[in-house]
Amino acid sequence: MTNPETLSTFQFFQKFPDEEAARKHFEAQRWSKEPVCGHCGSVNVTEVKGHKPMPYRCKNCRKHFSVRTGTVLAESRLPLQKWLLAIYMLTSARKGIPSTQMARELGVTQKTAWFLAQRIRETWLKDRGDYMDGDQMQVDET
């Protein structure tokens, strides 16, 4: 197994210099080729020019959506670039990062930084699939 390539902070900002680059990255990660409606799952979608927060419209359910729809990003007003920077900070810090430091570096309140980190961690745990719900478990004295 090869180690993933590490990215310096300078390289991060070269790769994601603005909100548009962050949006394109999230779209490529979520949809790969074409947008999929976050409400009904249809690929019968049109791009709406000038409709800033929700740039896509589903032709089947007639609802507007964006890359945020149906994700942990959905109810957040934070720019996508700050979300990416928070993910970068959480994954690149060896022993974790305090929410106070994250708040200073992102330019948000400590409460926002804490909530942001919790949502990111929650998403990581959701994908693991090793929950202990419903199964019997035995623990000895170790």
Distance of alpha carbon 70 from alpha carbon 90, whole angstroms = 22
* 77, 83 contact by CB (below 8 A): no
Give strand pairing partners of 98.
none
Residues 120-126: what's their mean pLDDT?
85
Q: What is the mean pLDDT of the chain?
A: 86
Give strand pairing partners of 48.
none
Pick the CATH number of 73-126 from 3.30.70, 1.10.10, 1.10.287, 2.60.40: 1.10.10
List the chain domain ranges.
Answer: 30-70, 73-126
Q: What percent of the chain has pLDDT over 90?
A: 54
- Res. 49: pLDDT tops 70: yes
Q: Residue 82's CB: how many other CB atoms inside 10 A?
A: 19
